[in-house]
Every structure is written in C-alpha cells, then in structure tokens.
A = this chain, B = another copy of it.
Amino acid sequence: MSKNLTSRSEDYSKWYNELVVKADLAENSAVRGCMVIKPYGYAIWEKMQAELDRMFKETGHQNAYFPLFVPKSLFEAEEKNAEGFAKECAIVTHYRLQNDPDKEGKLRVDPEAKLEEELIVRPTSEAIIWNTYKGWIQSYRDLPILINQWANVVRWEMRTRLFLRTAEFLWQEGHTAHATREEAMNEAELMNNVYAEFAEKYMAMPVIKGLKTESERFAGAEETFCIEALMQDGKALQAGTSHFLGQNFAKAFDVKFTNKEGKQDYVWATSWGVSTRLMGALIMTHSDDKGLVLPPNLAPYHVVIVPIHKTDEQLEAIDELANKLRADLKAKGISSKYDNRTTHRPGAKFAQYELQGVPMRIAIGPKDLENGTVELARRDTLTKEFVKVDELIPKLESLMKEIQDDLFQKAFDYRASHITEVDNFEDFKTVLEEKTGFISAHWDGTPETEDKIKEITKATIRCIPIYEEIEAGKCVYSGNPSKRRVLFAKAY
C-alpha cells in the first residue's frame, strides 16, 4: 500500500477509508461489518470517553450495566421501537456447539440446544432497561433515575464504513426516568447541550442544535434533539441524539409510580447516545491530504520528539535533552512521546506522525544542540520554526490552546460559509449539488414534502434548529405556508 493518501479532492470517500487504516485507527475484521479498533484509534476514543463520562457525572448521572441480550418478547413490547430495529437485528437462537459428525475437527450448532425464546443482541437498550426499571420504581421518591451505560451494540447494517456505520459499535446510552413531562424534556435538552459542549470544546467541531422531524426521529421517541455537524465534503453528520420518550416505554413495560399527591401515573423517559461514529466526525472535520489532524484536547499524546543524529554520541546527547523536555512537559500536563527507534529514519517518522495527527512535533539534531534550539512543527498548519530550548515549554503551552482554538475557528468558518439560505427549489438543487453544505429553507411541515425533496435531491431535513429566530415564509418545494426555516443537507 502506498504511503501517500488519495487526495480529498480526488476521492473524499477513498481518502477517508485510507486514512483510517493507514493512521492505525481501525480496520475491517473477519466479521462482516465489524471493525477492529486499533490502539491508536482506541486511545482517541478513550479520551472522548473520559471527558464525556466526567460531564455525565457532573450532571448527576451514574454508570450501570445491563445485559447484552434482549428476549424477543421484551424487544417487541414497544412496537414502534421494535419496528424500527427489527430489520437489523443479530439473533441468538442456540447455546451450544457440538462436533460435526460429518467433518472431522469441525463444529456445528447443536440442534438440541435451541433456545425456547430467541435473544436479540441489543441494538439499543430501552426494552431491557425499562423492564428492569419496573422493579426499581414505586414512588416519586425513587425518581429521577439518571443512569448511563458504556456498551457495545449491534445493528446489522448492509452497507458499512469504518466508524461511520458498523454492524457492531461502541457507544454510551443514557436512560433516565422522571416524575414529570417537563423534567424529562429538560433532561433530554440538557444532555443534547452536553453533547454540543463536548463536540465544540473537545472535538473542536461546531455543531447545530436542533430537533428532528417526525420521520427522522428515534423509533419510539416523541421528540429527538440532535447535534448536526458539517464535514469537509459538504455533507452533514448527525453526531449525537437525545430523545424525549414520553411515557411510551413506561406504558409498554407498565412502569407506574405514586406521585406526591398519592396518584398513580406512568413514568416519563429519556434516552441519549453518542458512539464511535464521533471518530468519523472528528476525522472528517479537521484532517487533510497528509492525514489525521487532531485537536490537542483529544490527542493520545500532544508532542512527539524525533532525534536526528548520525553518531551514538549525538543520540545520547539528544536523549538527555529529550528526557528533560519530557519531564518539563509532563509537569505542565502536556503528554509526549520520544521516538528514538533506530530502525526507522527521521523522514519516515515525520510522515508517520503527520499521518497520525500528532499536534506538535519537535526535531532535535546536533546543530540544535550547539545552538540551544529545536525545530518545532505544527501539524495543523504544517509550519515549522526554530525555538530556543528555554522558550520551548511556554511556547508549547500556548500552542496547545492556540491549535485547539484555530481548529475550531477554521471548522466554524467553513460551516458558516456553507449554510445557504435558499428560497426556490431550483436554487435548492443547484446549491446542494454545486456548493454543498446546509441549506436553510422554508418547509411546509408535512412528511409528504420532506419525502418528495428527499426523493428528488437525496437531501434530508437534518434538523429544525432551536435557539434561533423564527421567520415565516413559503415552502421551498410546495409553496405552502411555512412557519420557519429548517436545515437540509445530504448526510452521512
């Protein structure tokens, strides 16, 4: 495989697939549609997990763990949810293998070991969790329940892509129970805001907060909040969703509580999740033709130090400086890696760390030792400069923040220039094809128009933005009255 990536302008999709594999983030496995997340990719996911987990706990949530399997009778209890996921379920039907009498050394499914009731590998856990909550909730005193779970889920997708759409993926799913509609609605909105804060502050990825239309909602939800991001190729990506589930699951699983007035009522619910899909969003927000670009807040290590030497004595002297620098960096909360492998040339190392998006690179050669300098390179701008050793640490400290901010600003500017207001359907189609990005247009509020636009253009309503001024108008497709603009885009 060539060391260079296909360029984004040549074939964005190919560029993405190559980057994921060559930067050692993930690869396809022997199991159709399932990926192997490699150590470097997993280290980024761990950083994401740590920040999200902290944010969940700060907002009062606790972690727990519920079973991987959902008995079919529970799975089908909430009908809309079941219908939404039935076509992509992995189903366990047997619990034992036996020696295959026809093939020496091979195994086959033991036909005697058929389960009485099939088990669905969870595509999402509302069913098993609400069946459990039934036993936990009697009175308003037992509410709210604010629980999150870090888990793997399986959705048998036919067309898969690393991180973006895989049969198995890792995610977190929050499942909360409340005494009132209002409290549940506030929770759903709160968690969408937590996701937005995470995306912008850690991923350096600007997002639009909004509501899904009825046809784009989570199966079983009454309202779905979402954060939508814009990728470099002008396609939108749904980065997180938070659902107000009303009393649907409480009714399906008969979860009632006695309220303060002593009356019985069904419990109100939310659920919310983000997944390893965020890895795809991160890649497609910042990276370039040389590879991954990582915001410092999520980089497995912030700085890589590469020695450039000819003799062992030179390497020893560089080792000494590098180790001192690493200790100083550590004290400032900046993580580093020193790559003094002698099996690889500096040029190969430079290419590797560019491909892997390490935010800052320091190269130290014999001349640098003489001059008391190092060469400092920024991954995001690909700029290089010589920095005096005694100015290096404060320089890196300020760069950490600067790179994080610059990446956000660059992505923000790109997005700002790719939200286009459009008032007729011809412009809609032209902008969608030629300019790409989000199209802000009036919509008459009917699923029929939404479907028709999707059919003609492949664009969907990504969200009905909240926190924005509302202006009435005429639907860009039907000409019928519209209460407000919504955002359309082609999407991942």
Query: Given A30-B74, A74-B30, are A94 and B93 neighbors across the interface (CB < 8 Å)?
Result: yes
Which of A91, A98, A120, A141 counts the most B-chain CB atoms under 10 A from its CB? A91
A470 at the interface (CB under 8 A from B): no
| Minimum CB distance partner of A75 in chain B | B107
A431 at the interface (CB under 8 A from B): no
Residues of the B chain whose Cβ atoms lie less than 8 Å from the Cβ of A94 = 90-91, 93
Is B97 in contact with A154, judged by CB distance below 8 angstroms?
no
| Minimum CB distance partner of A150 in chain B | B150
A358 at the interface (CB under 8 A from B): no
A119 at the interface (CB under 8 A from B): yes
| Minimum CB distance partner of A341 in chain B | B141
Query: Given A43-B63, A76-B106, are A36 and B132 neighbors across the interface (CB < 8 Å)?
Result: yes
Mask of A165-198 contacts with B, CB within 8 angstroms, 1/0 = 0001010000000000000000000000000000
A67 to B119, CA, bound (A): 19
A397 at the interface (CB under 8 A from B): no
Residues of the B chain whose Cβ atoms lie less than 8 Å from the Cβ of A37 = 64-65
A31 at the interface (CB under 8 A from B): yes
Mask of A339-357 contacts with B, CB within 8 angstroms, 1/0 = 0000100000000000000
A263 at the interface (CB under 8 A from B): no
Is A64 in contact with B90, judged by CB distance below 8 angstroms?
no
A88 to B76, CA, bound (A): 27
Query: Given A74-B30, A93-B94, A141-B343, are A64 and B39 neighbors across the interface (CB < 8 Å)?
Result: yes
Query: Given A118-B109, A132-B29, are A39 and B67 neighbors across the interface (CB < 8 Å)?
Result: no
Is A87 in contact with B91, judged by CB distance below 8 angstroms?
no
Residues of the B chain whose Cβ atoms lie less than 8 Å from the Cβ of A89 = 95-97
Residues of the B chain whose Cβ atoms lie less than 8 Å from the Cβ of A156 = 95-96
Is B87 in contact with A65, judged by CB distance below 8 angstroms?
no
Query: Given A97-B87, A343-B141, are A31 and B92 neighbors across the interface (CB < 8 Å)?
Result: no
Is B86 in contact with A91, judged by CB distance below 8 angstroms?
no
The A48-72 residues at the B interface (CB cut-off 8 A) are 62-72
Is B107 in contact with A97, judged by CB distance below 8 angstroms?
no
Is A31 in contact with B105, judged by CB distance below 8 angstroms?
no
A395 at the interface (CB under 8 A from B): no
Contact of A170 among B34, B42, B65, B95 (CB under 8 A): B65
Main secondary structure, interface of A, reads mixed
Is B95 in contact with A91, judged by CB distance below 8 angstroms?
yes
Residues of the B chain whose Cβ atoms lie less than 8 Å from the Cβ of A154 = 68
Is A93 in contact with B107, judged by CB distance below 8 angstroms?
no
A34 to B128, CA, bound (A): 11
Is A70 in contact with B170, judged by CB distance below 8 angstroms?
no
Residues of the B chain whose Cβ atoms lie less than 8 Å from the Cβ of A91 = 92-97, 109
Is A30 in contact with B131, judged by CB distance below 8 angstroms?
yes
A160 at the interface (CB under 8 A from B): no
A379 to B15, CA, bound (A): 59
A204 at the interface (CB under 8 A from B): no
A233 at the interface (CB under 8 A from B): no
A268 to chain B, nearest CB (A): 20
Residues of the B chain whose Cβ atoms lie less than 8 Å from the Cβ of A79 = 105
Which of A63, A76, A97 counts the most B-chain CB atoms under 10 A from its CB? A97
Is A39 in contact with B147, judged by CB distance below 8 angstroms?
yes
Which of A95, A96, A120 counts the most B-chain CB atoms under 10 A from its CB? A95
A46 at the interface (CB under 8 A from B): yes
Is B36 in contact with A107, judged by CB distance below 8 angstroms?
no
A82 at the interface (CB under 8 A from B): yes
Ordered by A's residue number, 21 sampled pairs between the chains whose C-beta atoms are within 8 Å are A30-B74, A30-B131, A31-B119, A36-B66, A42-B62, A45-B65, A67-B168, A69-B90, A69-B168, A72-B107, A76-B106, A76-B107, A82-B97, A87-B97, A89-B96, A90-B119, A91-B97, A91-B109, A92-B92, A141-B343, A151-B152
In the complex, given contacts A68-B168, A72-B97, A91-B97, what are 10 additional A-B residue pairs having Cβ atoms less than 8 angstroms apart? A30-B74, A36-B67, A67-B168, A72-B107, A75-B97, A75-B107, A89-B95, A121-B121, A141-B343, A152-B152
